A and B are shown apart, each in its own frame.
Chain A
Amino acid sequence: MIILPTNRNLADQVLKFSSWFCGLLIIGFFCYLFIDIIWHGIERLSLNFLISDPANAGRQGGIAPMLVSTLLLLIICISIALPLGIACAIYLAEYTNEHMWFAKFIRHSLAMLASVPSIVMGMFGYAFFVIALNFGFSILSGALTLACMVLPFIIRSIEDTLRNIPQIHRLNASALGLSKWRCIFQILLPMAGHGILLALVLGIGRAMAETAALLYTAGYVTRMPDTVFDSGRSLSVHIFDLSMNVPGGEPSAYSSALVLVILLLLINASTHWMAKKIRHRSNK
């Protein structure tokens, strides 16, 4: 927020008016969207909706298998992407500078990876995990594809945290004769704990919002998955399928959308809380 002098003239008034117009338009749209989803979504939302199987192609029944599939997808995705992300972030932040060609290569590749369109990522997942590695349409294939998608964001977030740790800690460590190994595992990583948690939650939020990459990797079977080699339908794919392929599926789609939005709001709130905590720490 920058406070500027308020001497008024015509151009100023026009800009003021048009920016308020845009702002209120966006707020109005936001309220409309949320009230609409809450209003229609709350009708079918109950504990029963969350814990029962879908019936009649999803028109009746609940979303229990989708919640389980989504959870499995997230767990596998994060348990692959987070360790890999931490390793890559440590390498970039602690072992490289701007001029090393390998670091440049990694950085450029990550920037590109971050902007691969999700359907292209889905094609790759289909060709590689589903067919070449023979995982079939399965939660495992979907989760691996999601892991490729969220990895660049996790790496950037953790690398930023590591780079924000004051240099003095590294100097102290080497003055005390600590090895790089101990410096990383006993000083830097514990200090970056909140940042890693933040990256984790950001990754979960991204993975949960993803749909297109899952269509041809995790598939859209509505059954409760028994193992990770079963096909499973995530919540977002469920909303897509209900609104496109199931006439009369709107009430269930509304309720599923409400569940998904509530979950993402919780994630947003927790990232805010964590970011605040990190800022608080670095100000100390």
Chain B
Amino acid sequence: MSRDKALHYSLKFLAGLSVSSLLFIIFYLVSESSIILQEVSPTHFLFDNNWHPTEGEFLILPIVLGSVFIAFGAMVLSIPLGILSAILCQFYAPVWFSKPYERIIEILSGIPSVVFGFWGVIIIVPLLAQIEAPGTSMLAGILVLTFIIMPPIVLIANNAFINIDKIQLQNAMALGMSRFSIIRYIIFPNAKRGLLTGMILQSGRAIGETLAVLMVCGNVVQFTGNIFDPIRTLTSNIALEMAYAMDLHRSALFLSGLILMIVVLVLILLSEKLETSTKSS
């Protein structure tokens, strides 16, 4: 075999090796969580009285809802903030402001989430405790998560605004459209797909965020709609209980990992679908 052929095959092998971890991840999630799926009927996850996995009570629904509420709340806050500040950056601010501003956002997006979580524990939780005890609450989680996912959203929106059709923009200017109409009717529709894809991917990140949320949310398993109540998410459930989980309990945690993974995969497929439909149209 020639040297070139050997190189080709070994590179192909290494490429396969680099993604093999994904197969292992899926294999472990499925095989470990199949134990509980075989022994416990799915109705337990929805209708048991509580989450006491060591005593055979597997009420996972409030934890799933906790994850959804917090991710949703953080998206609702960070999307308008992110898009508006990207608009500021691209269209309203002078260059001396927008250049350093972009840089600051970039730095913010690289700050570890544990630092935001720590800061949430020190500053946000006591602040909320003054409004309503105990302070460690769903709202604290939403705020901290907003700080974490907002900088990438600004970067995504910036990119979407830059990559628009220049000809259309020039035509609009030649027609004498006002600044607001150009942003509203030319730039926004143009950037919509890019924005949407980015947002979908970020909501995956919001669902998957672990320790920052764990640090500020209080981690009580309960059904609640009150944003001042403590709440537990799927990710923090794993992080809190993995250390001592055995048998069925352990399997239940892998099941919550599997749920997370499925949610994230669905979001990815959705964004890929959006992207390909843009290309073809």
**Bound complex: CA of A130 vs CA of B239, how far in Å?**
16
Q: A1-B98, A117-B264 are in contact. Are A211 and B211 (CB under 8 A)?
A: yes
Closest to A179 in B: B4
Which residues in chain A, 34-68, are within 8 Å of chain B measured between CB atoms?
Answer: 36-37
- Once the chains bind, are B110 and A209 in contact (CB under 8 Å)? yes
- The stretch of A22-30, A163-171, A189-197 in contact with B is A22-30
Contact of A120 among B25, B108, B178 (CB under 8 A): B25
- In the complex, chain B residues whose CB is within 8 Å of the CB of A106: 15-16, 18-19
- Once the chains bind, are B101 and A116 in contact (CB under 8 Å)? no
**Bound complex: CA of A52 vs CA of B84, how far in Å?**
46
- Once the chains bind, are B238 and A109 in contact (CB under 8 Å)? no
Which residues in chain B, 141-198, are within 8 Å of chain A measured between CB atoms?
Answer: 147, 150, 154, 161-162, 169, 173, 176-180, 182-184
- Once the chains bind, are A260 and B3 in contact (CB under 8 Å)? no
B265 CB, nearest partner CB in chain A, Å: 6
Closest to B10 in A: A87
**Bound complex: CA of A190 vs CA of B112, how far in Å?**
32
Contact of B115 among A15, A29, A260 (CB under 8 A): A260
**Bound complex: CA of A87 vs CA of B12, how far in Å?**
8
Of A155, A180, A240, chain B has the most CB atoms within 10 Å of the CB of A240
- In the complex, chain B residues whose CB is within 8 Å of the CB of A209: 110-114
- Once the chains bind, are B208 and A84 in contact (CB under 8 Å)? no
A246 CB, nearest partner CB in chain B, Å: 12
- Once the chains bind, are B179 and A121 in contact (CB under 8 Å)? no
Q: A19-B92, A111-B272, A268-B106 are in contact. Are A119 and B179 (CB under 8 A)?
A: no
User: B29 contacts the other chain (Cβ, under 8 Å)?
Assistant: yes
Chain A: interface secondary structure?
Answer: helix
Contact of A26 among B18, B115, B150, B239 (CB under 8 A): B150
**Bound complex: CA of A240 vs CA of B118, how far in Å?**
7
- Once the chains bind, are A36 and B123 in contact (CB under 8 Å)? yes
- The stretch of A2-10, A222-230, A276-284 in contact with B is A2-10
- Once the chains bind, are A117 and B115 in contact (CB under 8 Å)? no
- Once the chains bind, are A91 and B12 in contact (CB under 8 Å)? yes
Closest to A111 in B: B268
User: A33 contacts the other chain (Cβ, under 8 Å)?
Assistant: yes
- Once the chains bind, are B208 and A118 in contact (CB under 8 Å)? yes
**Bound complex: CA of A110 vs CA of B268, how far in Å?**
11
Of A4, A16, A105, chain B has the most CB atoms within 10 Å of the CB of A4
- Once the chains bind, are B3 and A181 in contact (CB under 8 Å)? yes
- Once the chains bind, are B180 and A11 in contact (CB under 8 Å)? yes
B81 CB, nearest partner CB in chain A, Å: 5
Q: What are 30 A-to-B residue pairs whose CB atoms are below 8 Å?
A: A1-B95, A2-B161, A2-B169, A4-B173, A15-B87, A22-B84, A23-B88, A23-B101, A26-B150, A29-B147, A88-B11, A90-B11, A105-B19, A109-B23, A112-B268, A115-B205, A115-B268, A117-B210, A120-B29, A120-B208, A120-B238, A151-B18, A212-B210, A212-B235, A216-B242, A236-B114, A239-B118, A240-B117, A243-B215, A264-B110
Residues of A at the B interface (CB closer than 8 Å) are 1-2, 4-9, 11-12, 15-16, 18-23, 25-27, 29-30, 33, 36-37, 84-85, 87-88, 90-92, 95, 102, 105-106, 108-113, 115-124, 126-128, 148, 151, 155, 179-181, 184, 205, 208-212, 215-216, 236-237, 239-240, 243-244, 250, 253, 257, 260-261, 264-265, 267-268
- With A85-B18, A106-B19, A210-B112 known, 17 other A-B pairs at CB within 8 A are A2-B162, A5-B179, A5-B182, A11-B180, A15-B92, A20-B88, A22-B80, A26-B81, A95-B11, A109-B23, A117-B204, A117-B209, A122-B239, A122-B242, A123-B238, A180-B8, A264-B112
